[in-house]
Amino acid sequence: MKTFSHALLLAASVARCVLAQPAPTKLTLQDAETQALKNHPRVQAAQHVQSAMNQRIDETRSAYYPTLSGDVTGSQANPRARLGAGYLNDPSLFNRVGQGITLSQLITDSGRTPNLVASSRLQAGAAEQTVQATKYDVLVRVNQAYFGTLRAQALVKVAQETRAARQLLVDQVTALYNNKLRSEVDVAFVAVELANAKLLVLQADDQVQQAFAELTRALGSQDGATYQLADEPLPPSPPLKVEDLVQQALSARPELASLQLNRDAAYKFERAERDLALPTANFIGVGGYMPYISQLSLPRVTPPEYEGVAVNVEIPIFNGGLFKARREEAHYRAMEADQRLRDEAEAIARDVRTAWAGASTAYQRLDVTAELVRQANLAQQLAQGRYDLGLSTIVELTQALLNVTSADIQNMNAKYDYQSQYATLQYTMGALR
């Protein structure tokens, strides 16, 4: 009675634990992709970079507009002096109080500002393409994590079915042994297989937890959760010609577009740096009111209001080679951008060919593993029949059972490998949406 009551308490405790666990969240691949694009920090970081680059356009374009500043000045000096060193000139040596405004407007800088604006626009376009590339990176990782989780869950199911089948076999062989129809060796063999099946279940459970952690990371979340994933249909077979896919990738991959825009921006910036050696013209206007100015004991001869306009043309003559060095640096940066673009194009072509080969092989494995499962099940049935008739040993039967388990796992792996490989192929082609 006491034992029965302990069992009831244990059962109630287990029931409470089960009820306390939250129900798994239903999740489809499309839902996972939408959630990742909305929440993933890499996507949000890339979007902030794009917004910052858009502001840089306004920064460089501000040179087109006039600047207006106001000043309020009060000074005390030696009004008898009229010579000063440095930037303090003789009109500043009066005791005075005044206020005024200064207006400055760029007339021309020989094309430097237009080139800077064009470079900023191209960089903003590159940042936009980087956002798209980041989204594709997130999507392919969501696909891989999603199918990896489905694979882990399917492995758990296979492991549990294997354990149940091995337990049934152990019960049968043990019953035969108790009736003196089988030897103790047979019991030992099937007990070993049962222990291996239990280990397979533990390993599968561990892989599921790891897969859920990876999926949670791919979704852009740090809160642990379990999901009830919806299975996805198998995608179509991969295209037959890989070179067409390479050309599609070279025209569709946002990483390549981003590097192209950055390259163009680098050449625009090089032209802007070259324009530093050309003349710059500015319009300047000043005006204000000076209510007080001390001119010793003489009557005030300056009016309280003042104004003036001028056009200033600055022609660079010599600055120690600064502009030449800046122009050369910009030139080499542009050449660097050219080579980075070339390197990325070669890497994309390689990735497409590699992904196409992997997807093609994974697609062929589907039929091979399906046939392997059929043959393994047939061999297991024959081995079971021979063992029941006493025509074979337990070794032959357990080997047939191992073959069935291995074939089931390989068939399951082939299915999710192909789905993951196909998603990778779509990513390398720039077609993953």
Q: Report yes or no: 149 and 212 within 8 Å, Cβ to Cβ.
A: yes
With vertex at residue 287, the alpha carbon angle to CA 283 and CA 290, rounded to the nearest 5 degrees, is 155
- Sequence-separated (6 or more) residues with CB below 8 Å from residue 333: 266, 269, 270
The reply to whether 229 falls in a domain is yes
What is 8-22 written as a DSSP string? HHHHHHHHHHHHHSP
The reply to whether 304 falls in a domain is no
Per-residue pLDDT tens for 406-423? 999 999 999 999 999 999
The reply to whether 134 falls in a domain is yes
The reply to whether 187 falls in a domain is yes
Global confidence as pTM: 0.84
The reply to whether 25 falls in a domain is no
Q: How far is CA 363 from the centre of its chain?
A: 27
For residue 108, the cross-strand partners are 281
State residue 90's pLDDT score. 53
Grouping H, G, I as helix, E, B as strand and the rest as coil, residue 94 is coil
The reply to whether 75 falls in a domain is no
Question: In CATH, what number is assigned to the domain containing residue 131?
Answer: 1.20.1600.10
The reply to whether 295 falls in a domain is no
Q: Report yes or no: 53 and 123 within 8 Å, Cβ to Cβ.
A: yes
Grouping H, G, I as helix, E, B as strand and the rest as coil, residue 284 is strand
The two structure tokens encoding residue 284: 């300047």
- Section 159-170 average pLDDT: 92
Per-residue pLDDT tens for 79-101? 666 555 555 555 556 777 889 99
What's the structural domain count of the chain? 1
Range of the domain at 244: 35-64+111-277+323-429
State residue 293's pLDDT score. 77
Name which of 11-15, 225-229, 232-236, 382-386 the model is least confident about: 11-15
* pLDDT above 70 coverage of the chain, percent: 89
Per-residue pLDDT tens for 302-338? 788 889 999 999 999 999 999 999 999 999 999 999 9
The reply to whether 93 falls in a domain is no
State residue 2's pLDDT score. 43
Name which of 19-23, 52-56, 203-207, 287-291 the model is least confident about: 19-23
Q: How far is CA 46 from the centre of its chain?
A: 9
